[in-house]
Amino acid sequence: MQRDLSKVRNIGISAHIDSGKTTLTERILFYTQRIHAIHEVRGKDGVGAKMDSMELEKERGITIQSAATYCTWKDIDINIIDTPGHVDFTIEVERALRVLDGAILVLCSVGGVQSQSITVSRQMARYNVPRIAFINKCDRTGANPQRVTRQLREKLGLNAHLLQLPIGLEGDFTGVVDLISMKALYFDGDSGENVREDEIPPEMMEEAETRREELLEEISMFSEELMEAVLEGGDIDNGLIMAAVRKGTLALEFTPVLVGSAYKNKGIQPLLDAVESYLPCPTDVTNYALDLDREETEFKVTNDSKEPLIMLAFKLEDGRYGQLTYVRTYQGALNKGDTVFNSRTGKKVKIGRLVRMHADEMEEIDGCGSGDIVALFGIDCASGDTFTADGISASMTSMQVPEPVISLAVLPTDNKAQTNMSKALNRFTKEDPTFRTYVDHETGETIISGMGELHLDVYIERMKREYKAEVEVGAPQVAYRETISSRADFDYTHKKQTGGSGQFGRVAGYLEPLDEGEYEFVDQIVGGAIPREFISSCDKGFQKSLEKGTLCGAAVTGVRAVINDGAAHSVDSSDVAFQLAAVGGFKEAYTRARPVIMEPIMKVAVEGPTEFQGGVMGSLNQRRGMIIGTTEEGNYTVVEAEVPLSEMFGYSTTLRSLTQGKAEFTMEFATFKQVPKSVSEELIKKYQDEKKNN
């Protein structure tokens, strides 16, 4: 039986940290009767919100892992993914948005558009995800939804307009005015479960009419019928307005803005109605897959359950019962007992158990169809793998994975801890593509890398709790890069003669800085100076050379390697000989190409009371920070700066003591920039000393 996909919504809830995403999801689950009692994120009852099922999440009051659930509102099936707000867990947002059709962007009515809101909005734009904006916390002191809507336009470049007005604000927030139906909505009952429709308060009538006119003028651009109705005057059919809002939202040219307070149980049911009315169903979104049999040409995925299966594994989790693989089906149907094909590994896999997730609980199901988000058990795969029906060789485009910017050395205290640590690291690297681990061959230390201090802190804590692996942590290391700043030629001959056949390979060309990208190989060989079969060997040799620079031992990036001459021997030339010749040529040119060290620069946003602005700016300047700008909203100031990551360690403690604990900061990776001469000399000396000692 073909499902009616117009009754399905796959949505994500994303926002800046502490905007109320998890609280909002808790209310959605309550009103859709998936849970029967509301628990708070930092609740005194010790239960915690449904979607924060990990012990660490309950303790810290933050979301660390995205959690999936589903519910039914009226006759619509909604799959929801609640994502973390902290930038260190950005991969959770990235992979959720990759498989979702629509999203709710939650904003704090006081904080407005904050640094992570901008990052999330950028991620939504990358995957073409239509969104509804929900301005939460209208009950808080300083709430101003009009200002936040203005920020959505100015800071995020969205065509955002209010579909509702708050009735009262701060402590007087009692309900909302719906500008489409021109009715006031109040939320009665112990938990706001009874929505009462009433007349608009007389004192708000004039503003409501003005805002409605502005809204109609904007959305009539998306509907000729609506434009005619507006020009003719008189009553306008609500269905016509809603259809125009939906059309603009799906085209990513309009962002409906709703208001409410999740904590005070106000405004959630109209938000669910908006999800039904304005966000896309699976058939509204066009998805493409790559045909691996036809040189990766793109083809459109149909959403038809009768077509051969195509689904994407977007998240792995090692649970109590083994590996859990979250999948989104894009085409075809999947039943328990089916055999599917992993297009990356070429292996066939039999589906044993199929479950529908509700945070950390699961419900066994026999099958699923196109547009569903479900989980599979006991399947060996990687995050981003595509599964298809046998005979189809296709791959869904994967998500963008940012590079780690910070590293720590972890040292197990004994052999048992070593074994447990290895198990933990295997699991974590499989689950999280932004978490990397390797053994430093020179020091023998295990190095873990990630997106920030909190990211690594959480994994170390999980190692200790979940795996009983007692580890000691070394000083944080910054992921420096080396690059070249000028062009340099090379002409290198690798010649080795031992008993039997020798090795011979000559490569000539030059290295030059690459403006964009990490590495580019250019083959300008003419006349067969280097035989075709050895060109790729030269490329391999250059890539090997990029692994470690000579200044501070960091990876080399931003290099174009060009070969334009060379020589080969009919007997002694081989793949290895040309790889080694390329390595030698690279070393020869690298020292002459004026190499420099680059360091990661972080975009830092500090938010706090205006009285501490001078101290905050001073503390950032002391850390080699460059102030980009300051924004003042009442007695609250946001200072934005670019600061080297190496200077940001321990900043949270400094900021706390500087502002009496009243300010907070967020940071995310911005770019790589050349380090100052004094820092460069220090790094080079440290590297030379380490080499001597080893």
Render pLDDT for 157-207 as a digit per residue (tens, 0 to 9).
888 999 989 888 887 888 888 988 889 998 888 888 888 888 988 898 998
The pLDDT of residue 337 is above 70: yes
Of residues 362 and 139, which shows the higher confidence score? 139
State residue 685 phi and psi, 5-degree precision.
-60, -45
- Which one-letter amino acid corresponds to residue 503? Q
Mean pLDDT of 458-466: 84
What would the CATH number be for the domain defined by 5-284? 3.40.50.300
Of residues 62 and 674, which shows the higher confidence score? 674
pLDDT of residue 678: 87
Q: CA 472 → CA 114, 411, 455, distances in Å?
A: 35, 5, 17
β partners of residue 97: none
β partners of residue 446: 410, 439
Banded model confidence at residue 349, pLDDT cuts 50, 70, 90 = confident
Give the DSSP letter of residue 18.
T
Domain boundaries in the chain?
Answer: 5-284, 288-396, 406-479, 482-593, 597-678
Lowest mean pLDDT among 364-368, 392-396, 606-610, 626-630: 392-396
CB atoms within 10 A of CB 615: 15
Q: Which residues contact 2 (CB under 8 A, 6 or more apart)?
A: 304, 305, 306, 369
Kindly tell me the sign of the dihedral angle through the C-alpha atoms of 541, 543, 545, 547. negative
- Which one-letter amino acid corresponds to residue 374? V
Banded model confidence at residue 2, pLDDT cuts 50, 70, 90 = low
Q: What is the chain's mean pLDDT, rounded?
A: 82
Q: Which tokens hold the place of 475?
A: 């000083």
CB atoms within 10 A of CB 66: 24
Domains 406-479 and 597-678 share a fold: yes
The pLDDT of residue 43 is above 60: no
Of residues 436 and 322, which shows the higher confidence score? 436
The alpha carbon of 570 is separated from its chain's Cα centroid by a whole number of angstroms, namely 52
The alpha carbon of 411 is separated from its chain's Cα centroid by a whole number of angstroms, namely 29
- Which one-letter amino acid corresponds to residue 95? R
- Which one-letter amino acid corresponds to residue 32? T
Mean pLDDT of 520-543: 88
pLDDT of residue 498: 66
Half-sphere exposure of 433 (CA within 13 A, CB side): 20
Banded model confidence at residue 582, pLDDT cuts 50, 70, 90 = very high
500 in Cβ contact with 454 (< 8 Å): no
Mean pLDDT of 229-241: 82
The pLDDT of residue 368 is above 90: no
pLDDT of residue 50: 44
CA-to-CA distance for 566 and 581, rounded, in angstroms?
Answer: 10
Reported as a single tens digit per residue, the pLDDT across 118-152 is: 777 877 888 888 999 999 888 888 888 998 999 88
Determine the length of the chain: 694
Closest CA relative to residue 123, chosen from 261, 22, 12, 219? 12
Closest CA relative to residue 335, chosen from 368, 306, 370? 368
Reported as a single tens digit per residue, the pLDDT across 266-294 is: 888 999 999 988 998 888 888 878 877 76
CATH class assigned to 482-593: alpha beta
pLDDT of residue 490: 92
Kindly tell me the sign of the dihedral angle through the C-alpha atoms of 229, 230, 233, 239. positive
Domain 597-678 grouped into CATH 1.10.630.10: no
Helical packing angle, 224-232 and 238-250, nearest 10°: 140
Mean pLDDT of 566-590: 89
Banded model confidence at residue 627, pLDDT cuts 50, 70, 90 = very high
Q: Which tokens hold the place of 417?
A: 């801890």
Report the share of the chain in percent with pLDDT over 90: 13
pLDDT of residue 694: 64
CA-to-CA distance for 565 and 314, rounded, in angstroms?
Answer: 45
The pLDDT of residue 554 is above 90: no
185 in Cβ contact with 178 (< 8 Å): yes
Banded model confidence at residue 321, pLDDT cuts 50, 70, 90 = low
DSSP string computed for 211-242: HHHHHHHHHGGG-HHHHHHHHH-S---HHHHH
Reported as a single tens digit per residue, the pLDDT across 417-451 is: 888 888 888 888 877 778 888 887 656 778 888 87
Report the share of the chain in percent with pLDDT over 70: 90
The pLDDT of residue 44 is above 50: no
The architecture in CATH of the region 406-479 reads 2-Layer Sandwich (3.30)
Kindly tell me the sign of the dihedral angle through the C-alpha atoms of 547, 548, 549, 553. positive
Question: Mapping DSSP to helix (H, G, I), strand (E, B) and coil, where does residue 43 land?
Answer: coil
Element (H, E) at 312: strand 310-319
Banded model confidence at residue 51, pLDDT cuts 50, 70, 90 = very low
The pLDDT of residue 664 is above 80: no
Element (H, E) at 667: strand 664-674
Closest CA relative to residue 453, chosen from 497, 408, 413, 516? 408
pLDDT of residue 487: 92
The pLDDT of residue 53 is above 60: no
CA-to-CA distance for 258 and 429, rounded, in angstroms?
Answer: 39
Number of H helices, E strands in the chain: 16, 39
Map tokens 């909203």 to a residue.
Answer: 633
pLDDT of residue 81: 78
CA-to-CA distance for 385 and 327, rounded, in angstroms?
Answer: 9
CATH class assigned to 288-396: mainly beta
Map tokens 């012990």 to a residue.
Answer: 55
Q: What is the DSSP pairing of strand 664-674 with strand 595-609?
A: antiparallel
Element (H, E) at 130: none
Which of the residue ranges 297-301, 418-422, 506-510 has the most confident prediction, judged by mean pLDDT?
506-510
CA-to-CA distance for 346 and 390, rounded, in angstroms?
Answer: 10
